[in-house]
Amino acid sequence: MSDENQIRNTGSTEGWERDAIVQLANAGLEEQRRSRRWNIFFKLLGFAYLFLVLMMFVGGSNFGGGKKSSGSHAALVDLKGVIADGEDASADNVVAGLRAAFKNKGTKGVILRINSPGGSPVQSGYINDEIVRLRAKYPDIPLYAVISDLCASGGMYVAVAADKIYADKGSLVGSIGVRMDGFGFVEAIDKLGVERRLMTAGEYKGLLDPFLPEDAQVREHLQGMLDNIHRQFIDVVKQGRGDRLADDDRLFSGLVWTGEEAIDVGLVDELGSAGHVAREIIGEEEIVDFTRKPDFFERFAGNIGASMVRSIKTELMEPRLR
Mean pLDDT by 10 residues, the chain (322 residues): 54 64 72 73 66 51 48 96 95 96 96 97 97 97 97 96 97 93 76 79 81 83 92 96 94 96 97 96 96 66 49 41 32
What is the architecture of the domain spanning 73-179+249-293? Alpha-Beta Complex (3.90)
Distance CA 133, CA 110 (A): 14
Q: What is the pLDDT of residue 322?
A: 31
How many other CB atoms sit within 10 Å of the CB of residue 54?
A: 11
pLDDT at 3: 56
pLDDT at 319: 35
Q: What is the pLDDT of residue 105?
A: 95
Domain chopping of the chain, boundaries? 3-61+298-316, 73-179+249-293
Alpha carbon 42 to its chain's center:
33
Q: Is the pTM of this model over 0.75?
A: no
User: According to the model, what pLDDT value does residue 104 have?
Assistant: 96
